[in-house]
Copies of this chain bind each other. A is one copy, B any other.
Amino acid sequence: MADEPERRSIHSDDGPITRERILETALEIVDRDGIDGLSMRRLGKALDRDPMTLYRHAPNKAALLDGLAERVLDELEVDTGDGDWATQLREVARGFRRLALAHPQVVPLLVTRPLSTPLGLRPLGTLRPLEDILTLLTRTGFTDADALHVYRALFGFLYGHVLNELQELVERPEESDDLLRLGLHRLPIGEFPLLRGLAPVLASYDGAAELERGVDILLAGLTATLKRGDSSPPE
| B-binding residues in A (CB < 8 A) | 107-108, 111-112, 114-115, 117-121, 124, 127, 130-131, 134-135, 138, 144-145, 147-149, 152-153, 155-161, 163-164, 166-168, 170-172, 179, 182-188, 191-192, 194-195, 197-198, 201-202, 210, 213-214, 216-222, 224-225
Contacts of A219 in B (CB 8 A): 221
The answer to whether A134 and B217 touch (CB under 8 A), given A118-B183, A183-B118, A185-B120, is: no
Contacts of A222 in B (CB 8 A): 217, 221
The answer to whether A156 and B214 touch (CB under 8 A), given A183-B120, A192-B127, is: yes
Complex A-B: 18 CB contacts under 8 Å: A115-B166, A118-B172, A119-B184, A120-B183, A120-B185, A120-B187, A121-B186, A134-B194, A147-B194, A153-B214, A155-B160, A156-B157, A157-B157, A158-B160, A213-B225, A220-B221, A220-B224, A221-B221
**How many subunits of this chain does the assembly comprise?**
2
**A214 to B226 CA separation, bound complex (whole angstroms):** 11
Contact partner of A118 (CB less than 8 A), chosen from B108, B124, B157, B170, is B170
Q: Which of A167, A172, A201 has the most CB of B within 10 A?
A: A167
Q: B118–A195 contact, CB under 8 A?
A: no
